[in-house]
A and B are shown apart, each in its own frame.
Chain A
Amino acid sequence: MTEIEIGRLLRSGTTGFVIGCRVNQLEAPSFGALVRVPLESDYQVFGLIYDIQIEDDGLVRQLITAQDVPEEVLRDNRENRNVPVEIGVLALGYQHGERIFHLLPPRPPLSLDAIYLCTPAEIVRFTGIGRFGYFRHILRDRNKPVEELLAAHLMAARSAHEESGNADWYTQALQELITLMRDDYQGLINVLSAASDI
C-alpha cells in the first residue's frame, strides 16, 4: 500500500481544514475523496474533500491574453510556479488507537501536516463502522454542494465496499440518507438525483 501525499495543511478549524498543494500533486485528490491527516502515532483525522480552488495571479491572468501558450509554459505554471491549489476538507471523524469515531476531531490538524489520500481499505474501514454518523457533518452546511459531495463520496465508497465484498453498503447508505433527509423534500430529491447520475 503506497501512501499518496496530496499536500500539506494551510489552515484548519474544528469542522474542517484547507490543504495547499502544488498543481502537479493535484492528479491524486478529487472532489468527494476521503483523506486522512496522521497527527500522532495513534491519532488521525479523517475528512472529505469538498472544494478544490485553483487560484490565479497576475501572471496567469496576463498569460490568458496570449494567443497560444506553449506546452512548456503551461507546465511551468502548473508545476513550478508557487501558486498553490487550495483543497477544502470537511472533518468527518477521527481515529484514536484502533477506534474510529464519527465525531468532530478533538484537535484539528496543525500547519504543514501532511495529508494523505485514503486507500480503499481505509475508506471501507472508516465508512463501514457504525451507522453513517459522519453524514451529519456533510449535511450540516447546506451552503456547500452537499448533493454533489454526497454523490461523489457514495460513488467512491461504493466501489471500495464492493471490491471488499460488501455490496449492501451503498443501499444502506442511501437508506440512511433518506432517513436523515426525508423532512427536506427538495434536498433529498437533489441528493437522489445526483446519486442517480452515479
Chain B
Amino acid sequence: MNIVNEVNFNFKSKSSNESFARSAVSAFILCLDPTIAELADIKTAVSEAVTNCTVHAYPDSIGTVYINVKITDNNKIIIKIRDKGVGIEDVKQAMEPLFTTSNDERAGLGFAVMQSFMDKISVRSKLGSGTTVTMEKTLYRAGYDKR
C-alpha cells in the first residue's frame, strides 16, 4: 500500500470551522470520484471528530485541530484528526453510544457515527496531552487519477 496523495492542515477549534473541516476533506478526496453516499459518510464522520475537539478537547479555550488525509493506491482514505487538548480519561467509555459528558443537547452518538460510517476507527488519547482519532474508508468504485 503506497500513499499517492496527502494533505495536512490545521485550524482553530472554533465551532464555525466544523463546516470548513468537512468541506476541505471532501474537496481533497473528490479526485477519487466518491459516490454521494461515501462522501456524506466521510463528511459526517469528520464533522463528529472535529466537534469532539471543539466541545471536549478544548472545553474552556480555543486550541488547534490538526488534520492529515492520505489517499493510498488501493483507494483507501486515511484521516487523522488530532488535538493537543485535555485528553480522554476512559476511551472505551467515551466510545459507548449515548455516553456524553456534555449537557448541551449532545446526543452522545459521535463515536458511534464514526464507527458506523467509516470502515475502521482508532482512538489514542493521553490526559493532558490530547487525542488522535484515525479513521479509514476504502472507496469501491474509485479510480485515482495519478496525474
Say whether A and B bind each other: no
Interface residues of B, Cβ cutoff 8 Å to A: none
